[in-house]
A and B are shown apart, each in its own frame.
Chain A
Amino acid sequence: MRVMFLTVGMFLAAGFAVQAGDLKLEATLVWGTTTGTNVSHQLLDAKRTKDLSRIFKWQSYYAITNRTAVIPANGTRTIPMGAKCQLKVKNLGASRVEVVWMGNNKIISTNVHTLPLTLAGNDKNDSAYFMLLRSADGNGK
């Protein structure tokens, strides 16, 4: 009898996991630099600064834009991150997303990955930009 209930439970859990719920996504546009200080923006939180500093050469990270969006399962939301920069994020379920990064109305990149995800690239004056994406439901992903 216990085996039967366990089996039913597993199948039901698997079924609901496939369905997946809404994704509360946090997107943060970050600027990384080694030299200058930027007083007009707040420093990125310590945890993510530590993670980025361990991977990249830049030591100072500033949060330029921070947005959250609730994306239903299989739904897509457009998140404006700047005057000419926006993200189109599709919730694929199980913390997976398809991210289309657009700049000046042109697609820069399309990426399918599991959160947390960072899209990054070089910027002027030996600095860099980072698009940090994570689930904002409290599990840090």
Chain B
Amino acid sequence: MNNELELKIQSWLDGELSAAEAKQVAAQVTADTALSGLATELRQTKSALVGNEMDLKVPETREFYWSKIARQIEHEERKSAAPVSVPFMVQFRKFFIPLAGVAAVVAVGLLTLNPSVPSLSSDSNASSGEMETVTYRDQESGMTVVWLKDREESQASTADDTSKVETQ
């Protein structure tokens, strides 16, 4: 018994053969006990399946059910075709965090190597005991003027001013 003959017997039982072929197969099955046994087995299997197959019903209509499958297939195809895009913040963090670390180390290094970096607000004046200073900032020229004045001269000037006030 070859495979082709088995398939032919199966088709004969399913009623899929032409009348001439069906007649020929029927004659072969009758003549051969092995074929007859196969035919009997196939008939029993068929009747068992027809009688006991579970009748499954989906809640949606047939069209809606298949449209869901079609959409899922399209979605999977798009997913596999689309390039992988990494969010901007993830990319930013990926580069910025190590970069910030390096920059902090560099800044600390520079400040350590150059400890005399002045503060912008560290203007200072110191004069000898005989002098006193007055600082003036001219906004128009952007110039800082430090006026040095003798303490004696300053005191004399103050005394003059006081006497003028007293005489008035």
Nearest B residue to A10, CB-CB? B103
Given known contacts A117-B146, A120-B146, is B123 in contact with A74 (CB within 8 Å)?
no
- How far apart sit A117 and B147, CA to CA, in the bound complex (Å)? 11
With A74-B116, A92-B118, A96-B118 already in contact, the answer to whether A116 and B143 are too (CB < 8 A) is yes
Determine whether A55 belongs to the interface, using a CB cutoff of 8 Å to chain B.
yes
Once bound together, how far apart are the Cα atoms of A11 and B111, in whole Å? 13
A127 to chain B, nearest CB (A): 14
Cβ A122 vs Cβ B125 within 8 A: no
Interface flags, B109-124, vs A, CB<8A=1, else 0: 0110010111000111
Instruction: Say what secondary structure dominates the interface of chain B.
Output: mixed
User: Which B residues are in CB contact (< 8 Å) with A83?
Assistant: none
- Given contacts A15-B110, A92-B118, A112-B122, A117 and B143 within 8 Å (CB-CB): yes
* Nearest CB of A to B129, in Å: 10
B153 with A55: CB separation less than 8 A: no
**A4 contacts across to B, CB distance below 8 A:** 95-96, 99
Interface residues of B (CB under 8 A from A): 92, 95-96, 99-100, 103, 106-107, 110-111, 114, 116-118, 122-128, 131, 133, 136, 138, 140-150, 153
Interface residues of A (CB under 8 A from B): 3-4, 7-8, 11, 14-15, 18-19, 51, 54-55, 73-74, 92-94, 96, 106-114, 116-122, 141
Sample (14) of A-B pairs whose CB atoms are under 8 Å apart: A14-B107, A19-B110, A73-B114, A94-B118, A108-B127, A108-B131, A108-B148, A109-B148, A110-B124, A111-B125, A112-B123, A113-B146, A118-B143, A120-B148
